[in-house]
A and B are shown apart, each in its own frame.
Chain A
Amino acid sequence: MLSRRNPQLNANGELIHLLSIEGLPRAVITQILDTAGTFLSVSERDVKKVPLLRGKSVFNLFFENSTRTRTTFEIAAKRLSADVINLDIARSSTAKGESLLDTIANLSAMHADMFVVRHAESGAPYLIAQHVAPHVHVINAGDGRHAHPTQGLLDMYTIRHFKGDFTQLSVAIVGDIVHSRVARSDIHALTTLGVPDIRAVGPKTLVPGDLAGMGVRVCHDMAEGIRDADVIIMLRLQNERMSGAMLPSAGEYFKRFGLTADKLALAKPDAIVMHPGPINRGVEIDSSVADGRASVILPQVTFGIAVRMAVMSTIAGNEA
């Protein structure tokens, strides 16, 4: 069937929306990472602002709550001198039955230049991107299980910062991968950047065999999954999964798939431990590891602001 042009790129192959890492050329990803490096140094100045998005309005549209992610986007937008408006959708017109597209149309009439959208359903940002005016840009802050591209990018920035060359690495992603948009974005980014060995680790209910189709090696044994890994990305186990049909209990999960110091010892000695946050201490990761020498969880947060500044400034500079 027709027209499957990637809606994220304009006719010149430049990024106009960030909806998913899938389908982004390696050059686009690398350019964002390079730009993020510049903005990291801006964050170390006395004056942490640059005027690149001055006069632009960035609307945070979070249909799914997340104060952390919303705050980092807000900080990033303000450091670019944009005006930021946070929309509390739960209490707004959508709760009164206004359709998603009507909400977008109304906000566009208020001269929004950029929407940062988080939604519980996979694909929602694509629907929005299809229906906004040409000069309006959409950034996906997480849609259902599908994608969380800014998290994927900041994870890549973190790996590049600490490990350098992607093409020599073994990366293990551990946890509820089947329900994780972070995992999907990480996997797409890692494969695009040429990481040769990506392991998806977890029990069969959370890491089904057909994930191999995305270019990963499925491991149902934690030891095998993180042996000699350079990078370990731990995913948060959501409450809904912990008791019931997918997993019997948090305790059993932690015994088999939680990252403790002795499991970490199976990885390379200079392995780094990452986590998109917020962490569940004692469920997917032991406190000693989360706070330990190998953990780069806090730098991830710092990098996250610079990466989001890079994404916003890159997109804002390109026309549809």
Chain B
Amino acid sequence: MKLLIKNGRLIDPARGLDRIGDLATAGDRIVALGEVPRDFSPARTIDATGLVVAPGLVDLAARLREPGHEHEGMLESELAAAAAGGVTSLVCPPDTDPPLDEPGLVEMLKFRARKLSRCRVFPLGALTRGLAGEALTEMAELTESGCVGFSQADAPVLNTLTLQRALQYASTFGYTVWLRPQDPWLGKGVAASGAVATRLGLAGVPAAAETVALFTLFELMRTTGARVHLERLSSAAGVELLRRAKAEGLPVTADVSINSLHLTDVDIGFFDPALRLSPPVRQQRDRDALRAALADGTIDVLVSDHTPVDSDEKTLPFAEATPGASGLELLLGLALHWGEQAGLPLTTTLSRITCDPVRVLGPAIGTLAASAGRLVEGGVADVCMFDPAARWRVGDATLVSQGKHTPFAFASSGFELPGRVRATLVAGTVAYEATA
């Protein structure tokens, strides 16, 4: 099918392109960008006046809850949420039930996702069997079925010897290992250590839980040569260690979640379980450090950390509530909000959720790496069209995801999100279009 998108503000963050123009697609490719040949006869024209036409967003952390947690999310609902949020490619962690430690499970997931033609799904494989932190998985087989890296999700590897071996094995093939830097014992609390946790009588997670883990990881990286992607940095001290590691030349990348980028422990208020998150949100100076690091690229990408949680598991006393919040549909708005506050050009803001995530994925996504997260002629037609001037209120009615719990819900935050997705294209097909 041929599509013409007219008169939009075309932005390709990878090369700093920012101009008004047209975009034409045919099949799953972009065939013209900027000026479209007069003889192009589209089956459909979309008027993008006043809209930004950007590459489809790439979210490196979104839980789809299938298989195994269907009461919290199904592929249909969560991929629909992705499309509604302008996300055209996402990476999902391996902590499904059963975990993604068998090629058959990975293939099934990819097959189901492909049939829905909403969003490209790139699973992370489990680093150890059952995520138990003991025996390694068949990483080569899993990569062949489509895994783009290996992760323990939130399950710690207690045995440093095993962790070292896993990193060593992965580095044999050049696979990237994605890890949460959190010491399993220091990280047992439910809120960030500090004045708020002390006042509220909540068990604290000190920043040392992150830095101790980072020291260990960097040391193991030096001895094994493994490539590591750090998931969900949360502290200023962690940022500092990351800076030094990058300066040293270690092959490390990192992400930060929309939650840690915008919230602090004060937002827990009167024990609001929507703020029960892992990692816990920290203090103002940590948030400031994370923002600065995302702005200067020390932290490479922004992720949604989308984790739909069932109401039964959220409306509980704070420490008993399951950590996690929905976020796929909020990634764009919260990126824009951060960009506005930081005074960054739109191209930089959007980089962190388009071309930079693709850079982190690298050759793991094969030929897609050449054009995903970008707008290039001849490249893949994954496009997000959004109205930068619109504002919307997050709530049960406006969220597509099955999980409705988020700290950014208007009812509790009073905060309106900037930017509303009007249409999303995946491989040249309209995966989402706003009705109102």
Q: Report A-chain residues with C-beta under 8 Å of the C-beta of B413.
A: 1-2
In the complex, per-residue mask of B179-221: 1 if CB is within 8 Å of any chain A CB, else 0: 0000000000000011100111110000000000000000000
Number of interface residues of A (CB under 8 A): 29
Q: Are B198 and A214 in contact (CB under 8 A)?
A: yes
Q: Report B-chain residues with C-beta under 8 Å of the C-beta of A146.
A: 200-202
A22 and B320 alpha carbons, distance in the complex (Å): 23
Q: Report B-chain residues with C-beta under 8 Å of the C-beta of A3.
A: 412, 414
Q: Are A100 and B316 in contact (CB under 8 A)?
A: yes
Q: Are A210 and B318 in contact (CB under 8 A)?
A: no
Quick check: is B317 within 8 A (CB to CB) of the other chain? yes
- Which listed residue (A2, A7, A99, A121) contacts B318, Cβ 8 A? A121
Q: Are A211 and B270 in contact (CB under 8 A)?
A: no
A120 and B267 alpha carbons, distance in the complex (Å): 23
Q: Report A-chain residues with C-beta under 8 Å of the C-beta of B193.
A: 210
With both beta carbons as reference points, the residue of chain B lying nearest to A144 in the complex is identified as B201
In the complex, per-residue mask of B238-250: 1 if CB is within 8 Å of any chain A CB, else 0: 0000000000000
With both beta carbons as reference points, the residue of chain B lying nearest to A184 in the complex is identified as B201
Within 8 A of B (CB), among A178-203: 178, 181, 184
Q: Report A-chain residues with C-beta under 8 Å of the C-beta of B414.
A: 1-3
Quick check: is B111 within 8 A (CB to CB) of the other chain? no
Q: How extensive is the interface on chain B, given as a class?
A: 20 to 34
A134 and B267 alpha carbons, distance in the complex (Å): 25
Q: Are A122 and B198 in contact (CB under 8 A)?
A: no
- Which listed residue (A101, A122, A210) contacts B201, Cβ 8 A? A122
Query: Which residue of B193, B199, B312, B319 has the most chain A CB atoms within 10 A of its CB atom?
Result: B199
Quick check: is B269 within 8 A (CB to CB) of the other chain? yes
Q: Are B270 and A99 in contact (CB under 8 A)?
A: no
Knowing A1-B414, A127-B316, A210-B194 touch, does A122 contact B202 (C-beta < 8 A)?
yes
Quick check: is A281 within 8 A (CB to CB) of the other chain? no
Q: How far is the CB of A161 from chain B (nearest CB, A)?
A: 28
B residues bordering A, Cβ < 8 Å?
193-195, 198-202, 267, 269-271, 273, 312, 315-320, 407, 412-415
A-B contact pairs, 21 of them (CB 8 A): A1-B413, A2-B415, A4-B269, A7-B270, A121-B317, A122-B271, A122-B317, A122-B319, A123-B319, A126-B270, A127-B315, A143-B201, A144-B201, A144-B317, A144-B319, A146-B201, A146-B202, A184-B199, A210-B193, A214-B195, A214-B198
